[in-house]
């Protein structure tokens, strides 16, 4: 949904989807980031391409990756909790799509909470990863945060 | 691929390697694709000015980085079955700063037969250099029983 700030979205609203290609270079960049050189992410198994490392899927699935994500000036956002389910492997060389839908919003102790679902699919329409993410918005300087921000 | 966790005793703790969250690793995760003009992106995980603009006193590493350590450990324990039904629920109670260290851990809590599969339930966490938890949660996955040696 374009035009609105992220904290204004309500249950049922969607952020604009993102598509991206997982190149070998991109996957290996994330392997370097987390120092995980398990051969299944570099060579693959059973004649198939290498698997996409889960950290890359996680990195691309917060709503801040959406082309339509807009954070209001003077506001911050932070991750609160996350439930992830992996349905199928994703392979290097595939184009993935991420869709986001807001499922719940509420206010508590001066903060706006927004729960949303992020669904990662491959180009064949297979579900790869579903994340239910709870997040908060807050006014900068008014709420002490432990700084688990969501980088845009 | 063997599934080591099928042989584990209840209560057994698996520990991944301890990693130092260096600038280079943090930029690789949060700075955008290498080679992008203007790399790295400036955000609260990569740039002090951006962090301060967000109300933080210093750059903090993205929690995705050590959640990634943890999922890597789960894949080592469970194998590729993780990608067909692995479930993870977590919270991140503390932030981590550049050059701190983090180690992922998982403890086997339950093992139950589900048809021809065995569901493994785990408690999971990540610790910093002071043994403080910087991630806490649970994980589970049903693993083909024939994977058991």
A46 min Cα distance to partner chain B (Å): 11
CB distance A81–B19 less than 8 Å?
no
pLDDT digits (tens, 9 = 90+) for B92-113: 999 999 999 999 999 999 999 9
CA distance to A109, A143, B43, per residue, from A138 (Å):
10, 7, 17
Please check the confidence at residue A21 and state whether its pLDDT lies above 60.
Answer: yes
Please check the confidence at residue A126 and state whether its pLDDT lies above 90.
Answer: yes
A:97-126 residues touching chain B, CB 8 A cutoff = none
For residue B35, the 8-state DSSP code is T
Q: What phi, psi does B18 have (nearest 5°)?
A: -80, 130
Name residues whose C-beta falls within 8 Å of residue B146's C-beta, 6 or more positions apart in sequence.
B116
Closest-CA residue of chain B to A81? B91
Q: What is the pLDDT of residue A1?
A: 60
So what's the ipTM on this one?
0.94
Please check the confidence at residue A144 and state whether its pLDDT lies above 50.
Answer: no
Contact B31, B41 (CB under 8 A): yes
Please check the confidence at residue A145 and state whether its pLDDT lies above 50.
Answer: no
pLDDT digits (tens, 9 = 90+) for B13-26: 999 999 999 999 99
pLDDT digits (tens, 9 = 90+) for A59-106: 999 999 999 999 888 887 888 899 999 999 999 999 999 999 999 999
Rounded CA separation A116/A77 (Å): 13
- % residues pLDDT > 70 (chain A): 91
Rounded CA separation A72/A43 (Å): 43
């Amino acid at each position: 949904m374009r035009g609105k700030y992220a904290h204004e979205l309500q249950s049922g609203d969607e952020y604009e989807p993102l598509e991206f290609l997982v190149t070998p270079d991109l996957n290996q960049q994330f392997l370097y980031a987390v120092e995980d050189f398990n051969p299944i992410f570099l060579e693959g198994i059973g004649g198939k391409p290498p698997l996409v490392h889960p950290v890359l899927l996680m990195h691309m699935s917060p709503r801040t990756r959406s082309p339509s994500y807009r954070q209001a000036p003077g506001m911050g956002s932070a991750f609160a909790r996350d439930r992830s389910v992996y349905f199928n492997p994703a392979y290097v060389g595939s184009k993935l799509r991420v869709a986001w839908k807001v499922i719940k919003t509420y206010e508590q102790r001066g903060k706006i909470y927004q729960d949303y679902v992020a669904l990662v699919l491959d180009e064949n329409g297979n579900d790869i990863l579903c994340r239910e993410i709870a997040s908060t918005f807050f006014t900068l300087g008014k709420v002490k945060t432990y700084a688990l921000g969501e980088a845009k | 691929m063997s599934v080591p966790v099928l042989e584990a005793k209840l209560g057994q703790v698996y520990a991944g390697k301890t990693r130092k969250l260096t600038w280079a690793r943090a930029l690789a995760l949060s700075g955008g694709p290498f080679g992008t003009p203007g790399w790295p992106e400036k955000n609260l995980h990569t740039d002090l000015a951006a962090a301060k603009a967000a109300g933080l006193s210093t750059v903090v590493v993205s929690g995705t980085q050590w959640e990634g350590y943890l999922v890597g450990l789960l894949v080592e324990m469970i194998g590729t079955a993780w990608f067909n039904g692995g479930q993870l629920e977590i919270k991140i109670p503390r932030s981590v700063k550049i050059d701190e260290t983090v180690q992922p851990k998982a403890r086997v809590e339950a093992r139950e037969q589900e048809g021809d599969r065995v569901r493994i339930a785990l408690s999971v966490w990540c610790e910093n250099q002071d043994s403080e938890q910087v991630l806490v949660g649970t994980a589970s996955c049903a693993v083909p029983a024939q994977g058991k040696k």
